[in-house]
Structure 1
Amino acid sequence: MTEDDGLLSADDGEQPGDEWEELDVSDTEADRIARAQDREFLEFRKRIKNTEQFKVEASVFDDATLGALYKLVQDSYVDAFGGPISTGKEANIYTALAPDGEVAVKVYRINASDFKQMRAYLEGDPRFEGIGSDKKKVVVAWTKKEYANLERARKAGVRVPEPIAVERNVLVMEYLGDDDRRAKRLNEVHIENPETTYEVVREYMRRLYDAGLVHGDLSEFNIVVHEGELCLLDLGQAVTVHHPNSREFLERDCENVAGFFARQGVDVDADDLLAHVTEPEPDPSGNAE
């Protein structure tokens, strides 16, 4: 696969290992702003809560989340907010204007009532040791993990939204779409060449695995087409290859991807896809170890 196939080239040098920096979930400036609630912040909170496009719910925009948004505005990552792109149980995504154009702002719900689905991805990850069941710490760490996963995926040559900034439970990233609407998911478009499309997705999965990551929830619903390229979304739950459930997650990813492309007429088997993703990449020199 080359750049001509719509794939990014991996950075030169060593591939990322499986080591991770410790995720700091202590109080941030956003927390201090929310507690202090200075006059400017109170005006900002009032302005956001009066914005019809946000359709604000208390479970999404609590004071600390508004503090994080306020900090991102102060740091010039965001100039103005737009409408919602998508809503979910754990997070909502909104459009926003930034100095260099449009961005996406993903807001994880601190007060989400059910973290059972998250826990399957958190347990066994050393970055989450000691966090326990503290919802704030879990969500803050999860958000920072998604930022780190996006960075690692891009370094591995996988097309994902570029992460721009992270503050507490708010992630600012590249907006995939145009002036009219978000980028369409793979299940929403007519695929003219499903064989080539499958090869790109398969290569992305292999590059992620070589970089020490398993997506963990990959399907046609979080692969989008943007400016002629395939892009993977939702890497918040991605785990390292040493996670105790990584093999199970990868097998499920392979079943999902193979099942979708089989319905598009591609001769594909989940076991063959799994073998392709996990087999060591051939030595280009042809020398056996």
Structure 2
Amino acid sequence: MGPSGLETPPGPTHDGSFTRGRRAARRRFAAEPAPAADAYVSRRRRRTTGPTPPPVELDGRAGEDVDGPPEGDRWSTWDGADHGPVPRPDWVVTATGAVDTELGVLKTGKEADVHLVRRGVPGDAAILLAAKRYRSPEHRMFHRDAGYLQGRRVRRSRETRAMASRTDFGRDLLAGQWARAEFAALSTLWSAGLPVPYPVSVDDTEVLLEFVGDGEAAAPRLAQLRPDPDELADLWAQLRAALQGLARHGLTHGDLSAFNLLVHRGRLVMIDLPQVVDVVGNPFGPSYLGRDVDRIGAWFAARGLPDAAAAQDALLADLMGELGITGPATSHP
């Protein structure tokens, strides 16, 4: 009987033969040389996994985005962005396989920086674009934007309050609103044939614009030039026509100066239009109109425009007549 009270079955060790067999096996195993470790592993691998596969050559780009652009800094942002007016110029690259390459900064400002970007499909001709990028909330200093934003509203009262109180959320909304306001103004004015860069697209807080210049050199600003009398008279005539075109749409630039006008091969081009003002809808509209004329008129007067004061008064009167405004418009906020 076993310890549990059950009968113990008979086993092979009852006569000691099994124990003697195990001892003999141990003596034989100790006498034989041990197999090499790699041979043992090799035999085991063949039994379990088959032949040893060849070593895998690691990709030298390990850790990189091997599906990213073949060159440049990013894929084209055309897909997913809002696009400029049609018909588009023939030079606009719309292929989603195009690559954008950063070439440097063209201009820094209080609200945004302008970068030079080359866009093209690898192997094909590329174009140059100006990428205007409004800054992150902690680095933006919007210039007296409260007055410019009069008359601009968003649908949600929460967003309006956030913008008014300048929370981080409100500043993000402001940046997007500035970008889209400039894009919308440029789209309207370009479609009307006014001298502004073609707005290629807008995506969040980035506006992509036609690059105005030769090669990679941007066109000079009016402030950089010293035109002769004939050139000065021609530029003044172009400016009058441009401001009258704005007035026909109920608008004024809002921050016009010789620094916000380019001259490319003799042609005047208006830039920097995020603060464009609806002269009738904004209670400060006539004041902004008067300030625009005062500023740019003073520059032309300082460069020797004949009868500059009279020319400035005549321009302001024409613009006010176009807008249907009566009364003084020389003061500004």
- TM-score (normalizing by structure 2): 0.60
Which residue of structure 2 lines up, in the alignment, with residue 151 of structure 1?
A: 187
Which residue of structure 1 lines up, in the alignment, with residue 250 of structure 2?
A: 212
For residues 164-190 of structure 1, the C-alpha deviation after alignment (integer angstroms, 9 at most, x for no partner) is 010000010100112242110111122
Which residue of structure 2 lines up, in the alignment, with residue 277 of structure 1?
A: 319
- TM-score (normalizing by structure 1): 0.69
**Contact between 2:226 and 2:303, CA under 8 Å: does it hold in 1?**
no
**Contact between 2:110 and 2:142, CA under 8 Å: does it hold in 1?**
no
Q: What aligned pairs does 1:246-261 form with structure 2 within 5 A after superposition? A: 246-261=285-300
Distance 2:251 2:315 in 1: 16
Question: What's the offset of the Cα at 1:271?
Answer: 2.8
For residues 55-90 of structure 1, the C-alpha deviation after alignment (integer angstroms, 9 at most, x for no partner) is xxxxxxxxxxx9979967994575211100011121
By relative contact order (CA 8 Å, sep 6+), the higher-ranking structure is 1
| Farther off after superposition, 216-225 or 126-135 | 126-135
Which residue of structure 2 lines up, in the alignment, with residue 83 of structure 1?
A: 104
Distance 1:93 1:247 in 2: 30
Distance 2:190 2:78 in 1: 25
Q: Amino acid of the residue matched to residue 122 of structure 1?
A: L
Q: Amino acid of the residue matched to residue 198 of structure 1?
A: W
Q: What aligned pairs does 1:201-240 form with structure 2 within 5 A after superposition? A: 201-240=239-278
Q: Amino acid of the residue matched to residue 181 of structure 2?
A: K
**Contact between 2:73 and 2:101, CA under 8 Å: does it hold in 1?**
no
**Contact between 1:77 and 1:165, CA under 8 Å: does it hold in 2?**
no
Q: Structure 1 residues 102, 137: CA separation in 2 closer, same or farther (over 3 Å shift)?
A: same
Give unpaired runs (5+ residues) of structure 2.
1-63, 82-93, 121-125, 164-169, 324-333
Q: Amino acid of the residue matched to residue 308 of structure 2?
A: V
Distance 1:129 1:250 in 2: 30
Q: Amino acid of the residue matched to residue 251 of structure 1?
A: G
Q: What aligned pairs does 1:91-106 form with structure 2 within 5 A after superposition? A: 91-99=112-120, 100-106=126-132
Q: Amino acid of the residue matched to residue 217 of structure 1?
A: D
Distance 2:284 2:300 in 1: 25
**Contact between 2:76 and 2:96, CA under 8 Å: does it hold in 1?**
no
Q: Structure 1 residues 76, 234: CA separation in 2 closer, same or farther (over 3 Å shift)?
A: farther
Which residue of structure 2 lines up, in the alignment, with residue 178 of structure 1?
A: 214
Q: What aligned pairs does 1:1-289 form with structure 2 within 5 A after superposition? A: 75=96, 79-99=100-120, 100-111=126-137, 112-115=139-142, 117-127=144-154, 130=157, 131-132=159-160, 133=163, 134-192=170-228, 193=230, 194-241=232-279, 242-266=281-305, 267-269=307-309, 270-280=312-322
Q: Structure 1 residues 159, 128: CA separation in 2 closer, same or farther (over 3 Å shift)?
A: farther
**Contact between 1:68 and 1:170, CA under 8 Å: does it hold in 2?**
no
**Contact between 1:41 and 1:70, CA under 8 Å: does it hold in 2?**
no
Higher CA-based Rg: 2
RMSD, matched Cα: 3.0
Give unpaired runs (5+ residues) of structure 1.
1-38, 50-65, 282-289
Q: Percent identity?
A: 28
